[in-house]
Amino acid sequence: MENYYTADRKFYLENKDLQEIVRDLENDFQDRNAEALHSYAEACTWYDMVLKNAGDICANFIAPRAAAVDEQGPTYRDGLVSWAPETQENMKVLSEAGYLGGTLPRRYGGLNLPVTVNTIIVEMVSQADASLMNLFGLQDIAMTINKFGDETQKTRVLPKFCTGEVSGSMALTEPDAGSDLQAVSLRAIEKDGQWYLDGVKRFITNGCGEVSLVLARSEEGSKGGRGLSLFLYERYRDKNLIVRRIENKHGIHGSPTCELQFNMAKAELVGRRKFGLIKYVMSLMNGARLAVAAQALGIAQAAFDEAMKYANEREQFGHTVVHFPAVYQMLKKMQAEIETTRMLVYQTAWFVDLEDMYERRSQRGEDVRSELKYANAMAGFLTPLTKFTATEMANRAAYDAVQIHGGCGYMKDFPVERLARDARITNIYEGTTQLQVVAAIGGVINNVLAQEWENLQKFNIKELSAEKERVLGFGEQLQAIVSEVTTVKDRDFHDYVANYLVAIASIAYRNVLFLPVAEQFAGKRELFRFFLNESAVRIDYLIARIRMLKKVYGVSIEELKRAFVKGR
Ligand SMILES: Cc1cc2nc3c(=O)[nH]c(=O)nc-3n(C[C@H](O)[C@H](O)[C@H](O)COP(=O)(O)OP(=O)(O)OC[C@H]3O[C@@H](n4cnc5c(N)ncnc54)[C@H](O)[C@@H]3O)c2cc1C
């Protein structure tokens, strides 16, 4: 029987050192209750079992239902939304297996998994049915409540998430506040110690769910992010939220996207007033961005597997099409991109685990300031870098997978048609690719990766020493071109080339991650060398492009805009 917990996923997970993280998560292995883990070895065996079971459910229960979910989608009648029957079955199976509270603490009924392990479950669910990940992945809401809610809120809501009794949504976007969440205008009004929400939210995934985290303007007359707070809305405690409609979408059909009307709906403040956007939503979105990166990776894997299958079955000119260089070129690029993106996704998840661990230790009074600062910086930088990389990659992979299928790829009879539609949303929601670049560019300019390059420098590489020099060279090239860009004193020029700089950082860093793996495992060297050589050409090309723009336009890059701007 097929299992999505493949040798590759296992290999890259086992490559991560989770020892310190797990020890801390498991209270130094001192807990004595029935579910407690007593050693790192026991934890690893258990994670392996959890992942194998999830891989089995994904491959053999969820994936076979994906086409039916896509075909039917949710239904809307008189303000009530129902998931497709197959989606309901999928969620039931996942909740019965205990996966709905993956990273939540055991005292609320969760599995207390490290983010790294849970991210692999998200990836596998997405490979099986990307739209299901939107419901399953909304656990990030529960994690935000766990992080910032008070104990009453946690004990009331979190166990319900773990049993599947409730599902959630995060209600941020409004008609006039999309990428720019500082423009949120839905009002939060306090009367006699009770908060009420009033206004409209748009494009809310599973907005019909029982629990919503809502970003609202609590400071009347304020402008910008500092007037916003985060609220917990529970449908089973208040009936003044109306689902006005669900959207008719291009992809992820299984996930309802709702327009919500709050009519003085009762809600509770989460955490501190005015910290809604600047602290809590930032944390919530970072978790969701990593989940979307894993979603994109899962879609790309599914697209690659379908393309491989088809290329080996379809015959033209007397050969299966896999024999044509034009076809295996696409497969090779997909393989290298998927594998290196997987390393990046797991690395980001690992830094999020480190960040969480140092936060817990710091709260316990340990002096881990410098470690926490570093983990914060890396998680904060890698999250948008990873979403940028994985979601653009998934779109290219799905596009090529359709191409390999020829005309069949355009037909609903073949899964790649759905995968290409599902991939398309990943680089739009949770912040578009352009906004990921905005979030990551500061880290590129300020060389957040400096320590990573230093670590590589010290790493004892014997077999691949020439390759190590080349990878170190990528870091030098990146720093050199960053310096050249920053000498141009023009904000538009910086913004215009920012995506090229972020792309170079992504390519270079994936080589940093791949090199030690290839050094250790000879079986990975062929793919590593392929990626390294491709990387060198791509980095040279991106640098040449930036230099051309600097030379031809420099401070007058804004001229390029003129032809397009109408009116204001
Ligand atoms: C299917 C679906 C599900 C969604 N689920 C949710 C959800 O659960 N909760 C929620 O709150 N929201 C959700 N959203 C909303 C989603 O997060 C937004 O659509 C997204 O952030 C982009 O906002 P926008 O659509 O208003 O685009 P706009 O912000 O209007 O962007 C238009 C274009 O301008 C570009 N742009 C904007 N600002 C900048 C800038 N500063 N620099 C460079 N380029 C820029 C964008 O990249 C884009 O290309 C969902 C959307 C969809 C389609």
The CATH code belonging to domain 168-274 is 2.40.110.10
Ligand 1 atom at minimum distance from 434 CA: 47
Per-residue model confidence (pLDDT) at position 230 = 98
| Residue 219 near residue 263, CB atoms below 8 Å | no
Question: Is the pLDDT reported for residue 488 higher than 80?
Answer: yes
Helices (H) and strands (E) in the chain — how many of each?
18, 11
Asked, colleague to colleague, whether 168-274 and 449-561 share their fold, the answer is: no
CATH level 2 (architecture), domain 449-561 = Up-down Bundle (1.20)
- The token duo for 34 is 């029935």
Residue range 496-537, pLDDT digits in tens = 999 999 999 999 999 999 999 999 999 999 999 999 999 999
- Quote the ipTM score: 0.99
Buried-state track 99-118, b at ≥16 Cβ within 10 A, e below 16: bbbbbbebebbbbbbbbbbb
| DSSP bridge pairs for 234 | 211
Per-residue model confidence (pLDDT) at position 278 = 95
Among protein residues, the one with the nearest Cα to ligand 1's atom 35 is 434
Per-residue model confidence (pLDDT) at position 137 = 83
Choose one of 133, 139, 173 to mutate for the ligand 1 pocket test, by most ligand atoms within 8 angstroms of C-beta: 173
Per-residue model confidence (pLDDT) at position 567 = 79
Per-residue model confidence (pLDDT) at position 108 = 95
d(CA 143, CA 105): 10
| Residue 158 near residue 145, CB atoms below 8 Å | yes
The HSE-up count of residue 249 (CA atoms within 13 Å, CB side) is 27
Per-residue model confidence (pLDDT) at position 12 = 94
d(CA 241, CA 28): 44
d(CA 195, CA 173): 20
Among protein residues, the one with the nearest Cα to ligand 1's atom 9 is 204
E-assigned strand segments in 305-377: 315-316, 319-320
Residue range 160-172, pLDDT digits in tens = 999 999 999 999 9
Question: Is the pLDDT reported for residue 568 higher than 90?
Answer: no
Among protein residues, the one with the nearest Cα to ligand 1's atom 50 is 203
| Residue 415 near residue 356, CB atoms below 8 Å | no
Give the DSSP per-residue string, 513-536: HHHHHHHH-GGGHHHHHHHHHHHH
Choose one of 179, 185, 437 to mutate for the ligand 1 pocket test, by most ligand atoms within 8 angstroms of C-beta: 179
Q: Which residues line ligand 1 (CB under 6 A)?
A: 169-173, 178-179, 203-205, 249, 257, 425, 428-432, 434-435, 438
Q: Which pLDDT band holds residue 138 (cuts at 50, 70, 90)?
A: confident
Per-residue model confidence (pLDDT) at position 285 = 93
Give distance in angstroms: CA of 179 to centre of ligand 1: 5
- The token duo for 566 is 């109408």
Q: Span 9-17, mean pLDDT?
A: 95
Residue range 405-458, pLDDT digits in tens = 999 999 999 999 999 999 999 999 999 999 999 999 999 999 999 999 999 999
Residue range 52-92, pLDDT digits in tens = 999 999 999 999 999 999 999 999 999 999 999 999 999 99
Q: Where are the domains of the chain?
A: 168-274, 449-561
The residue count of the chain comes to 568
High-pLDDT (> 90) share of the chain, %: 97
Choose one of 170, 208, 391, 428 to mutate for the ligand 1 pocket test, by most ligand atoms within 8 angstroms of C-beta: 428
Among protein residues, the one with the nearest Cα to ligand 1's atom 26 is 178
SS3 breakdown of the chain: % helix, strand, coil, rounded to 5?
Answer: 65, 10, 25
Residue range 267-323, pLDDT digits in tens = 999 999 999 999 999 999 999 999 999 999 999 999 999 999 999 999 999 999 999
Q: Find how far residue 256's CA is from the centre of its chain.
A: 19
Ligand 1 atom at minimum distance from 172 CA: 11
Nearest 5°: the CA angle 146, 151, 153 is 75
Residue range 27-42, pLDDT digits in tens = 999 988 888 999 999 9
Q: Average pLDDT, whole number, for the chain?
A: 97
Among protein residues, the one with the nearest Cα to ligand 1's atom 38 is 179
Per-residue model confidence (pLDDT) at position 1 = 86
Q: Which pLDDT band holds residue 139 (cuts at 50, 70, 90)?
A: confident
Per-residue model confidence (pLDDT) at position 364 = 96
Buried-state track 460-474, b at ≥16 Cβ within 10 A, e below 16: ebeebeebbeebbeb
Question: Is the pLDDT reported for residue 140 higher than 90?
Answer: no
Give distance in angstroms: CA of 486 to centre of ligand 1: 28
